[in-house]
Structure 1
Amino acid sequence: MSDESPPTGGPLPPPVLEAQPNVVDTVAVARLYGEPLFAMPQDLYIPPDALEVFLEAFEGPLDLLLYLIRKQNFNILDIPLADVTRQYLAYVDQIRKSNLELASEYLLMAAMLIEIKSRMLLPPKKSADGHEPEDPRAELVRRLIEYEQMKLAAFKLDALPVLGRDFLRAQVTIEQSLKPRFPDVSIDELREAWADILKRAKLNQHHKISREQLSVREHMSIVLRRLQGKRFVEFEELFDVTRGAPVLVVTFIAMLELARERLLEITQAEAFAPIYVRLAYSPS
């Protein structure tokens, strides 16, 4: 104890504060600006709309109106406008507090409901032709039925499997054989090649009138001689375009006869590739 003591009745000296021990972060309920918070503040301000919860989300006024009708099992052809309008306005009052721009669309439908209810309270007036007036709710009912049909159709379309969302396209790699397979020469390709040769022959023809005896057998021998000792000969090289169209025709017929008798083969490496002619292979 110290000998020096404060005078009686005088103010006491301030207590000595010991340094707080380091507290593990898991004990703190939160951290505010990097500092641990060990108790909830009593003056915490929470905005009114901070914990706002929407239980239902509607895509428009018709969607909300259809929801109210179907939820209470009302007959859509005989809508009790008083009850539906009262519930509709209650929902509109809720969204007006948070989103006035969104509520404007719903207010237009609310005004339409009130206008239809007002027309129903008035005594009906017959038309000039004596027919009964149309129910004021008829137009609204038609719009609700059409909207419900489109909504059901959208649900059915969304339920269909979608590539990338519900399934993926399977891919299978098939190794093709290294041996090339030569395509068969079709009649159309031969006709086109023959037409091209005729077109070029007309550019080189001479205006000479003469009668020439042409033999198919003779030209068959000529074609065989030209193919003798050669592996392949291009289709166009077998025609002598300088001798005119008659010789070309006989040469072409000779080639067809040789192909029919299996004395020569007409091949093509791939589609639209040059056509080649060779002697048919005969095993020894």
Structure 2
Amino acid sequence: MDIKLKDFEGPLDLLLHLVSKYEVDIYDVPIVEVIEQYLAYIATLQAMRLEVAGDYMVMASQLMLIKSRKLLPKVAETAVEEDDPELELLSQIEEYRRFKVLSDELAAQHDKRAVYYSKPKEELIVEDAILKQDKSVMDLFLAFSKVISAKQEEVKNSHTVIEKDDYRIEDMMALLNSRLESESSVVLTGVFAGCQNLQEAITLFLAALELIKRQQVSVEQEDNFGRIILRKGA
């Protein structure tokens, strides 16, 4: 079963997505929280054996440096540093945001102008699922990143057990359907609570995506970074 997630256009696009959720000025966002969410997203891609582009990994190393500096105890400041990597990063995100706004405006003008001309038939590419309150499948994936990060830490701290890879997406779909038949809704974090290992959690997540694509399950998120709720039916 081939499940595809919408990719970001690059590491700055992912960071802008995370930063914009705080609905404050870019220079006022809690940068450590944003960095942790970015690193969790990259770790989840790796856990799912998905290829991670090199520029994402370069950005991850830069973010880890910024995070380490933010977490170190501050000593008496003797002089202002010439190069502030955090300020430089936020400036890059702000510059990227401006260019993206201009790009969106140009695309809108292009679409408006294009209605006056006959165009050849084009393949329409749409999102497999749209979450309520202007959410997207990527919001679901980012929420799953938090779950998988916690599960990785749990596995690392437990005894090493080699388990057979025999989880099937179809079985997990049936499991989710069964739970939603007996419960009006289930919380995403609660769904993964009983998973014994990463492979089971990943298979369960892919099953949830497939149910969303088939419109057998609807998804809600009450607020930014809030809990993800699954309900029966689209």
TM-score normalised according to structure 1 size: 0.35
Report which of the two has the higher share of helix: 2
TM-score normalised according to structure 2 size: 0.42
Which has the larger Rg? Answer: 1
